[in-house]
Amino acid sequence: MAPSLEARALTRRFGSFVAVDNLNLNVRGSKCVGFLGPNGAGKTTTLKMFTDLIFPTSGEAFINGVSVQRERKEALSSCGTLIESPEIYPSLTPREALDMVGGLRGLPTDEIRARTRTVLDEVKMTEWADRKVGRFSKGMKQRINIAASLLSDPEVVLLDEPSTGLDPRGMAEVRSIIKDLKKGHRLILMSSHILSEVVDVCDEVALVNHGKLLFYDTLANVNARLGTGATSVDIGFTRPVSDGELATQVATLPGVSGVSRVDGKRATAMIAGGPEVQSQILARLAASELGLVSFQASRSALEEIYLKEISQGDS
């Protein structure tokens, strides 16, 4: 059976404030889903209901078809979780903490040993395996948390901003860990504010704002949807370009609806049209004597859609 996550009319109020509002989401199969939304959108609240850390006001959450609210233990047995950077008992070492996790999950001793080696290696914490967690930095703790969530080789993985507190290399490592996970028949739901990370590792995205699901779609569809809209492109030149040159040689190109200068050697152009139009503009600019060095969408398709959807919801 394919791994699955399902929210059925999931609602959570805090007093009169509705943090998650009748959320319906059905994710199935082996893939990574990015869970996006601005601060306070309700991502963590949703993930906490998926792990029974908090209880829904109404509705229900299912992991692999098992109700989290009715059977927390069974539902979470096939699921690895990392919600809100938890802390480990400070005097335990990573090895002991992972031992505990494995023991509580009912893994046999030799399997715990082998898996501990694997996951510690994956998060690059092998040399710290026998030091006390209490003295670790935030990022080191987060690495151990990631290791713990993967220890049992779970089918479903819930991650709330997994790269929080990690250095750039750590973030890259997390991306590669998640990509590896996807190869092995797993479903990953990951909240994140780093859209480039989501574009890099996720196959699908769900966007929430004010506790409501705005859309849930594949990244491919997100890119296709944007094909028709206006794209803003950053253009860089080898030499300073004059306003006159911008007006005559850039603004006049077919598809360009406007140009504005960023500084002497850089400008931003608004382009109406899909990839073909962009490609022609790029070719013409490269052929011109302006000295083109870079031509890059200033925002990814995901970013454009994200900003558009969020601002629509707020107006």
Ligand X SMILES: Nc1ncnc2c1ncn2[C@@H]1O[C@H](COP(=O)(O)OP(=O)(O)OP(=O)(O)O)[C@@H](O)[C@H]1O
Which positions lie near ligand X, rule CB under 6 A? Answer: 14, 17, 19, 37, 39-45
In the list 33, 61, 125, 148, the residue contacting another protein (rule: CB under 8 A) is 148
Least gap, CB of 184 to ligand X (angstroms): 28
Considering only residues 212 to 241 of the shown chain, the ones binding another protein according to CB under 8 A are none
Q: Which amino acid is at 255?
A: G
- The two tokens of residue 203 are 């196959």
Range 178-185, long-range pairs (CB < 8 A, 24+ positions): 178/32, 181/32, 181/150, 181/157, 182/30, 182/31, 182/32, 184/30, 185/3, 185/30, 185/155
Shortest gap between Cβ of 30 and another protein (angstroms)?
Answer: 6
Give the range of 116-124, 197-205, 286-294, 303-311 binding another protein by CB under 8 A: 116-124
Quote the tokens at residue 310.
């969020």
- Per the DSSP assignment, residues forming a β-bridge with 23 are 10
Angle formed at CA 201 by CA 198 and CA 203, multiple of 5 degrees: 85
Among 26, 40, 89, 196, binds another protein (CB under 8 A): 89
Q: Is 44 or 51 the residue whose CB approaches ligand X more closely?
A: 44
* Span from 149-157, 191-199, 263-271, 295-303 in contact with another protein (CB under 8 A): 149-157
104 binds another protein (CB under 8 A): yes
DSSP conformational letter for 136: -
Among 3, 7, 44, 120, interactor with Mg ion by CB under 5 A: 44
Based on the shown chain and the rule CB under 8 A, indicate whether residue 87 belongs to the binding site for another protein. Answer: yes
List, in sequence order, the alpha helices (H) in 123-274.
Answer: 138-150, 168-183, 195-201, 219-226, 243-245
- The binder of another protein chosen from 46, 149, 209, 300 (CB under 8 A): 149
- Per CB under 8 A, which of residues 31..70 are in contact with another protein? 48, 51-55, 66
Cα atoms in the 13 Å half-sphere on the side-chain side of 212: 6
Closest CA to 192 of 223, 158, 163, 220: 163
Instruction: List binders of Mg ion among 149-208 (CB under 5 A).
Output: none
Element (H, E) at 301: helix 301-314
Residue 188 near another protein by CB under 8 A: no
Task: Give Cβ neighbours of residue 212 (< 8 Å, ≥ 6 apart).
Answer: 21, 22, 23, 313
Q: What is the smallest separation between the CB atom of 176 and ligand X, expressed in angstroms?
A: 24
Q: Does 185 bind another protein (CB under 8 A)?
A: yes
C-alpha count within 13 angstroms, C-beta hemisphere, residue 36 = 27
User: Does 105 engage in binding with another protein (CB under 8 A)?
Assistant: yes
**Residues in contact with Mg ion by the rule CB under 5 A:** 44
**Residues in contact with another protein by the rule CB under 8 A:** 1, 30, 48, 51-55, 66, 72-79, 81-92, 96-97, 99-101, 103-108, 111, 114-115, 118-119, 122, 145, 148-150, 152-155, 180-181, 183-185
